[in-house]
Amino acid sequence: MLIAFLLNLAGKLSKDGLVYALLNVIGAGLACLASVLIHYLPFVILEGTWTLVSLFALVKFLMRKQVG
C-alpha cells in the first residue's frame, strides 16, 4: 500500500490504474490477514474495509476496460 502511495505521489503511478488497485488489494489483504492472525479487531476492520474498497476500484477498472 505504501509503495503504491509513494509511487502515486512521485507521479510514477496513476491512482486510476490497474497496478495501483492491485497493490492496494494485495497490501490491504495481507495487512488484514496479519491482523486476523494476531486477533487485533480494529485493524481487521480497517484493513478489511480497505481491501473491499480496493477490490471495488479494481472491478470498476476492469469493467471500464471491457466496455471501452
pLDDT, residue 55, reads: 96
DSSP three-state, residue 54 = helix
Q: Supply the pTM of this predicted model.
A: 0.86
d(C-alpha 7, C-alpha 17), whole Å: 12
Q: Is 90 exceeded by the pLDDT of residue 66?
A: no
pLDDT, residue 6, reads: 94
Q: Is 70 exceeded by the pLDDT of residue 68?
A: no
Every domain of the chain and the residues it spans = 2-67
The answer for residues whose C-beta is within 8 angstroms of residue 55's C-beta and 6 or more apart is 25
Tell me the per-residue pLDDT of 5-47, one tens digit each, with 9 for 90 and over: 999 999 999 998 999 999 999 999 999 999 999 999 999 999 9
The answer for residues whose C-beta is within 8 angstroms of residue 14's C-beta and 6 or more apart is 8, 20
Question: Helix crossing, 41-67 with 18-37: angle to 10°?
Answer: 160
